[in-house]
A and B are shown apart, each in its own frame.
Chain A
């Protein structure tokens, strides 16, 4: 009888959760659609919640390892749960709870569709996707990691191509698959370098292995390429704005909110855990790359007209911010400035967690808008705050959070990140000292532009007059959807209000990765006051801020009522006395982005057709292209096609030829191996 070891509880629970997800997915394949919606998805959400709980327990316990009797005969799957994995598992579990709840309501339209049982297949893939992401986070050897990584890529590919009858969606899916695999090759090579010819692919062996600085740097570059491709770092970002809009909204939410974070996890795992070196230029490279990505992403977000493309570009921006934060932490760590390094790392992890919440919330909000109106083009939306108030309310929380406004969660991580820049001590390289403040400037600019893009997002979709009659019939989200949105919105608010509590949990990760924590000083003045170093240096209290604003708001309201009156009349809009207002006089999404387009016109590939004054039916068309697309992706796709065509010659279609191949391979193996 195996005895039950309570210290292994978090890892056993996590493993159990993934198993349950797989079982749920398989069961979902065979039961009626109604059952899938009412039971399987909510059960999946509960599993996610349990996973989050287990991860919370795993954060402050010692690293736990387990070996699964699966995989190849002498290469079993190694699992390990340490603080880093636990943090990302927490992010996954807590985020996926909301999305799974939402999915229970959202996919009801698929249930009515006829042949092919799309919902059942989707249910399997959805839960497999969740399970594979968990495996990626739990894997403790390169072999299992790659199996999980590929399962994740493939299941998400099939989820992206749910509507595979539309050619654009197939194309987007292909692009995603291509870049995912280019990245996977780089990651595989990185692992290959790290095992250093010993043939031992466990992470434990890699941790102890010795590499020369040159090969360590090569590994770093490969890992940055591989994980960067998954995360959407420039110049490998082009799949993101294609794949995210193509996928069903809960899937976009998971991909953007959580799957991109597995790439961040991979970077952290390889750089801070497995590689024994910390070179400052690694950090500097990540910092620059991250900031360029952030600015690029947010500029493109501001000029999009498609709801989900805008959010996808905003994800690129946030990934840029996260990678730049990692870069700063690595840079400081390389110079031994661990106290500030811990601050930068905390800010980065905090931002990753925040992004999981607000980006999922916004993607799900966009999904509800899509359901209510069947419209993804912002130029045909508007005024939805009156039609779908629940969704509008949740999306407002998401908008304020992502725009980095106090007292919501986006502001906390931005604040911490800026504090890290500000506290950066003098480094031995003068050039670096000079340029780091420029990094802060770029970060601040990206944040301000994000506010622009998000005001556009919310204002055009939910406010103003409806752009078209169809919106009159829009219906609000159902109960499951509301529950999911509420969960994520509550997360945004709570993460914003109680930063000290969150930082105390993040401490376990920073302790494990760079051996320094923030919590001791952050919590010195109690949970209300966030003080990264000490009270004199800086402090921020979201709770006090909220109370002060809310109190002043309430008092003002009462005072105005008491001293004057609350009389109110409704009338037509004034608009400087112009009587014939129609919805066509509002800004379109493109109009709202026009200043950005004009100011940063060099960065965009703009093509425009402007009508002439003599046109009987004036027609305007504007298009914004991503210039990097032509520079990087076209050549890559062409190269891949050429290689495939070349490899394709092997395919002769005759069984005798294939038997010959097997024969030659066998002979070759016999000759070379033994």
Chain B
């Protein structure tokens, strides 16, 4: 039983590491189709990663050890985050170590490291990116935490496994508060993953970039790890979203028999979710930076509203 659970945890770890770039490729491909482009194909992120790993790394003269260790910290944090979320099954051995609040903490840890690394070289763009990233996050993080709060007060637990269990058990009951929370969550997902309308992942236009500005000085294997970590983060957000709002299909316990079914459900959900993300990004336009606080303030207020509704209705 114990070994089986550990094996399952390892399986999920490897699984998320492998499929994260695929999700990114799928979203990019969908975007390309919607914008009447042919697109590079869904496997493009893998080729990019391999290419980057083969290259020689170039570091700025004044890069400190903090700068060098950050890609690894980022990759380890995001890998852990994606591996913790009940993707195909609940009750993973690592999940009691990190509940939803700690999950937000892990995201914050990674963010602080990348922001510090961006400031390390002392270039204009690095600092600008770090400042903007922290601006986005100080509004997005509370909103995310409040979304989790809402789910936690409904299920009476901050453990993701229990939350998923509760929601999956109750079936398709629609909680009004969770509807508000879902909207807030999608807005946070867009902001935290550097997506339009908050940031544009495919731009290097100096005046608008946030995430890309922070990682300008990285190259080769360091950049590869950061890109991979970004893909893992997107996957983690997707799977957290599924766990909270669409939990059906996640097997209870480490159940190898139910694995093909839950894997199939996951693939379907990711495909639809990725398509939805690409659609959202295509339909909206990049906002001015100082509209972003309004956007995220809305998310924050929606999350607060969700909690108030929960307390008001008592469900």
Taking CB atoms, residues of chain A closer than 8 Å to B126 are: 575
Taking CB atoms, residues of chain B closer than 8 Å to A458 are: 116
Residues from 492 to 541 in A contacting B, C-beta threshold 8 Å? 529, 535-541
Taking CB atoms, residues of chain A closer than 8 Å to B125 are: 575-576
Chain B interface main SS type: helix
Taking CB atoms, residues of chain B closer than 8 Å to A553 are: 72-73, 75-76
Contact with B along A458-473 (1 / 0, CB 8 A): 1110011100000000
A544: CB under 8 A from chain B?
yes
B239: CB under 8 A from chain A?
no
Chain A interface main SS type: helix
Q: Name which residue of chain A comes closest to B135, CB basis.
A: A595
Within 8 Å by CB of B123, from A396, A444, A455, A573, lies A573
Closest 8 CB pairs of A and B: A464-B122, A465-B122, A459-B119, A544-B97, A552-B76, A587-B127, A541-B97, A575-B123
B172: CB under 8 A from chain A?
no
B-side interface size class: 35 or more
Contact with A along B225-243 (1 / 0, CB 8 A): 1000000000000000000
Chain B's nearest CB lies how many Å from the CB of A298?
10
CA distance A563 to B49 in the complex (A): 13
Do residues B73 and A549 form an inter-chain contact, with CB atoms below 8 A? yes
Chain B's nearest CB lies how many Å from the CB of A109?
28
Do residues A437 and B61 form an inter-chain contact, with CB atoms below 8 A? no
Do residues B124 and A455 form an inter-chain contact, with CB atoms below 8 A? no
A658: CB under 8 A from chain B?
no
Contact with A along B77-120 (1 / 0, CB 8 A): 10110000000000000101111011001101100100110011
With A422-B149, A564-B221 as given contacts, are A448 and B138 in contact (CB-CB < 8 Å)?
Answer: yes
CA distance A463 to B66 in the complex (A): 9
CA distance A586 to B120 in the complex (A): 10
B283: CB under 8 A from chain A?
no
Q: Which of A448, A544, A571 has the most CB of B within 10 A?
A: A448
Residues from 551 to 583 in A contacting B, C-beta threshold 8 Å? 552-553, 556-557, 560, 563-565, 567-576, 578, 581, 583
Q: Which of B58, B109, B149, B293 has the most CB of A within 10 A?
A: B109
Taking CB atoms, residues of chain B closer than 8 Å to A572 are: 60-61
A-B pairs with beta carbons under 8 Å apart, 22 shown: A411-B102, A419-B101, A433-B311, A441-B303, A448-B138, A451-B137, A455-B116, A463-B119, A545-B98, A552-B80, A560-B53, A569-B58, A569-B59, A571-B58, A573-B121, A575-B216, A581-B124, A587-B130, A591-B127, A591-B131, A594-B131, A595-B290
* Interface-facing stretch out of B155-163, B189-197, B246-254, B262-270: B155-163
Taking CB atoms, residues of chain A closer than 8 Å to B157 are: 536-538
Contact with A along B35-64 (1 / 0, CB 8 A): 000000000000000000110111111111
Do residues A548 and B119 form an inter-chain contact, with CB atoms below 8 A? no
A-side interface size class: 35 or more
A602: CB under 8 A from chain B?
no
With A405-B108, A441-B142, A557-B72 as given contacts, are A576 and B66 in contact (CB-CB < 8 Å)?
Answer: no
Chain B's nearest CB lies how many Å from the CB of A383?
7
Do residues A404 and B108 form an inter-chain contact, with CB atoms below 8 A? yes
Chain B's nearest CB lies how many Å from the CB of A607?
21
Taking CB atoms, residues of chain B closer than 8 Å to A578 are: 124
CA distance A571 to B217 in the complex (A): 11
Chain A's nearest CB lies how many Å from the CB of B61?
5
Taking CB atoms, residues of chain B closer than 8 Å to A386 are: 62, 64
CA distance A592 to B105 in the complex (A): 23
Chain A's nearest CB lies how many Å from the CB of B301?
9
CA distance A564 to B223 in the complex (A): 14
